[in-house]
Amino acid sequence: MTKQETAIELEVAEMTDEQVPNQAAQALVESREILPTVDHPVEVEPVDLKAPELYINRELSHLQFNVRVLEQSLVERHPLLERLMFLLIFSSNLDEFFEIRVADQLRQLKYGREVVGPDAMYPKKVLEKIREICHINVERQYRILNEIMFPEMERQGIHFLRRRDWTAEQLAWVREYFEEKVVPVISPIGLDPAHPFPRLVNKSLNFIVELDGKDAFGRETGMAIIPAPRSLPRLIRMPDELSDGGDNLIFLSSIIHQFADELFPGMKVKGCFQFRITRNADLTFDFEEMDDLARTLRGELHSRKYGDAVRLEVDNRTPEALIDFLMQEFHLSDDQVYKVDGPVNLTRLMAVRDLVKRPELRWPPFSPGVPNKLKKEKEANVFNSLKGGDQLLLHPFQSFTPVVDLIMKAAKDPDVIAIKQTLYRTGDKSDIVNALVEAARAGKEVTVVIELRARFDEESNLHLASRLQEAGCLVVYGVVGYKTHAKLMLIVRREGSNLVRYCHLGTGNYHSGTARLYTDYSYLTSNDEIGEDVHKVFQQLTGMGKIQRLKKIFNAPFTLHTKMIELVQREAKLAASGKPGHVIVKVNGLTEPKMIRALYEASQAGVKIELIIRGMCRLRPGLPGISENITVRSVIGRFLEHTRVCYFGNNGNPEVFCASADWMERNMLHRVETGFPLSGKLAERVKKELDYYLADNTESWELKADGSYNLLAPEEGEPAFSAQQQLLQDFAS
């Protein structure tokens, strides 16, 4: 293990200014000891479980997850190009963080509508902390890129060619590229009264240019803007025959820098500097004034590109006078400016994956597993296999193909009379969508609930809705004010004189691409009660009426929240009566205050609570008398953890649930979500897989009471264990 991999103390350890209540709490957390369940009630003095010091700020916790992603670029056991991807994903995550979370805090300040969470931190203080952490870690990101990544790639024969290193032949090729590919689409803009500062698109690459001299019209403005065409790649591969070997890449910015003079003939370019603006990209709706969600959304999408500026990134060599000019144009303050030592648009470096064919520097390939029963039925009748028993798939370790096969089989099967489906994110080239189109054209009743407001997929979903409608599908957009986040598929098949329902319920999206990158559960069943419940959920989404009583499924915003709290409280009652209480929760975020208070109360009663929270977590573990029986860990590895699973010990009769929902306010109270039970061998299997994550000592970060995280490492003599690697061994080949 390297020094960077073991017990990394993140630079964001001081993300909040609340202090750990006392030294005993600090010692307890640092011990990393998982306390056993006590067999008798714990007597504690009454504590106000709404006290702000018991809660971590949501935005700062979110930011910490991004920093943990950045840390992966330092893990030397990861392949080199994957380490680079983690470094770039940090940029992508930070972009969205500024576009949505920072923008929201700024909006609250601007309009005097400050919202304070359970941590009682006001937006002004939150923004101060965010900027402090971001400045530290962005500077650190570029140091990693320049001091570690670029040298390592150079040693591996991946060269990012600087202008000073171009040979005469390479320069000639770059000139030809500039003249043929760049000049026809680029539009330099001189700044004067007739050419005011342009309205620049969100996250676009731009250059501010200092000029000397007069142009053909006698203008002498001294300044111009060059927006880099969005149609051009930011990274270009140099032809192999012009190089001495290896993979040779150049930045579009280098080409524009090299030939900036030629964009302003007769004038002298004194300086040319990159910059990039990040804007508020959140969409807001007045539901009371809305009569057509799709039409309203189409109108809002264009404005997303030109929202208020929230961040300015500039080349650190940019003169202060030019930075001041840009700050004034975008109405930004000095602490919203990020001076970087390298390209300002790092996310676009992800093109390296396609430009460099070096499989030895990527994760080793694998083939997702398929259960034998589904494998045998693939070419026969997949419905028979589901009548013989439920199936549970864990992606990406197991293939998403059986889910796609089910819908494709249903589209062609003459006995299938109806298909109902929710779609949140599916991708532009989706076999599932193709199957729905085919089914509708074949005369089947096809109903699709599309969530148009899936963030950053709105435009894709609008096109998708139009395509499905043209094919004859009944398309609805869910319920106004409540995003439809549930992952449901219902197939109705005529079998003799009976109608049989086949269902898929999942924790992730119907997207074959993300199913190879995200960990998610897919549950396939022909259970009558589950089928009836799914049918009722679709009735609620497409029609109107009172809350439908469900037998097996719990759904938000109606019953899921209260059910989860009741199950936690049941474990607390068991522990208070001297029986073992045990709760395991694996979700992406834990922020809902009532659920956190229920966990605190259960911990006080002696329940052993093990939380696996990938991202945001407002709960503080390890507080004496409050959360000493709670541990929180975050697992970050090759795949993005996305499963939502809950385990309740129930005094030896455990109950296991999967869900589409995280334990967050938006999921439990403001979205349409579903949670579904697993039983028998499937429940036992899920518990075993949860135990893998609790045993992980290589990719698991432990949350401390002060809000910081420690990367766990094997103790002396203890073997290294990775949950994701073990799951690959269990299921994939």
For the stretch 504-533, pLDDT in tens is 999 999 999 899 999 999 999 999 999 999
The reply to whether 253 falls in a domain is yes
pLDDT of residue 115: 86
Interatomic CA distance for residues 674 and 484, integer angstroms: 10
Interatomic CA distance for residues 395 and 514, integer angstroms: 9
Same domain as 392, residue 283:
no
Last residue in a domain, options 308, 334, 357: 357
Q: Which residue has the tokens 């089989």?
A: 409
Give the closest residue to 676 by CA, choosing from 533, 571, 483, 538. Answer: 533
Neighbours of 164 (CB within 10 A): 5
Let me know if 313 is exposed, middle or buried by CB neighbors in 10 A (0-12, 13-18, 19+): buried
Give the closest residue to 273 by CA, choosing from 226, 208, 220. Answer: 208
Is the distance from CB of 99 to CB of 357 less than 8 angstroms?
A: no
Task: Retrieve residue 446's tokens.
Answer: 């096809």
Alpha-helical runs (H) found in 413-472: 431-441, 458-471
- The tens digit of pLDDT for each residue in 390-424 reads 999 999 999 999 999 999 999 999 999 999 999 98
Interatomic CA distance for residues 685 and 568, integer angstroms: 21
The reply to whether 174 falls in a domain is yes
- Does the annotation list 455 as a binding residue? yes
**Domain CATH code at residue 417:** 3.30.870.10
Is the distance from CB of 320 to CB of 61 less than 8 angstroms?
A: no
Give the closest residue to 84 by CA, choosing from 92, 74, 93. Answer: 74
Same domain as 341, residue 406:
no
Same domain as 280, residue 421:
no
The reply to whether 92 falls in a domain is no
The reply to whether 569 falls in a domain is no
pLDDT of residue 193: 57
pLDDT at position 653 over 70? yes
Same domain as 527, residue 460:
yes
pLDDT at position 433 over 70? yes
Same domain as 285, residue 412:
no
Is the distance from CB of 437 to CB of 471 less than 8 angstroms?
A: yes
Q: What percent of the chain has pLDDT over 70?
A: 88
Interatomic CA distance for residues 22 and 25, integer angstroms: 5
Give the closest residue to 672 by CA, choosing from 519, 539, 494. Answer: 539
Last residue in a domain, options 551, 568, 592: 551
Q: What is the span of the domain harbouring residue 213? A: 157-357
The reply to whether 268 falls in a domain is yes
The reply to whether 412 falls in a domain is yes
Mean local confidence (pLDDT), 543-560: 90
Catalytic residues: 485
- Does the annotation list 509 as a binding residue? no
pTM listed for this prediction: 0.89
Domain tally, the chain: 2
Note the Cα 275 to chain centre separation in Å. Answer: 26
The DSSP element (H or E) to which 136 belongs, if any, is: helix 123-144
Last residue in a domain, options 527, 551, 575: 551
Mean local confidence (pLDDT), 306-317: 94
Same domain as 389, residue 350:
no
Same domain as 324, residue 197:
yes
pLDDT of residue 252: 96
Is the distance from CB of 505 to CB of 658 less than 8 angstroms?
A: yes
Task: Retrieve residue 630's tokens.
Answer: 């709670």
The reply to whether 699 falls in a domain is no
The reply to whether 152 falls in a domain is no
- The tens digit of pLDDT for each residue in 88-107 reads 999 999 999 999 999 999 99
| Confidence at 30, pLDDT banded by 50, 70, 90 | very low
Mean local confidence (pLDDT), 115-131: 94
Q: What percent of the chain has pLDDT over 90?
A: 75
Same domain as 517, residue 392:
yes
Left if phi > 0, otherwise alpha if psi is -120 to 50, otherwise beta: which for 389? left
Same domain as 388, residue 320:
no
Task: Retrieve residue 510's tokens.
Answer: 């119907």
What are the distances in angstroms from CA 43 to CA 38, 499, 624? 12, 56, 12
Same domain as 330, residue 252:
yes
Q: Quote the radius of gyration of the chain (alpha carbons, Å).
A: 28
- Does the annotation list 642 as a binding residue? yes
Same domain as 382, residue 353:
no
- Say if strands 247-251 and 235-237 run parallel, antiparallel, or are unpaired: antiparallel
- The tens digit of pLDDT for each residue in 61-75 reads 999 999 999 999 999
What are the distances in angstroms from CA 321 to CA 107, 217, 231? 28, 26, 30
Same domain as 299, residue 265:
yes
| Confidence at 251, pLDDT banded by 50, 70, 90 | very high
pLDDT of residue 41: 44
Task: Retrieve residue 411's tokens.
Answer: 């589209």
Quick check: helix, strand or coil at residue 611? strand
**Domain CATH code at residue 319:** 3.30.1840.10
Is the distance from CB of 424 to CB of 485 less than 8 angstroms?
A: yes
- Does the annotation list 317 as a binding residue? no
- The tens digit of pLDDT for each residue in 453-470 reads 666 667 777 888 888 999
Interatomic CA distance for residues 319 and 260, integer angstroms: 17
Q: Name every residue whose Cβ is closer than 8 Å to that of residue 658 and which is 6 or more positions away in sequence.
A: 505, 507, 521, 523, 643, 644, 645, 675, 676, 678, 686
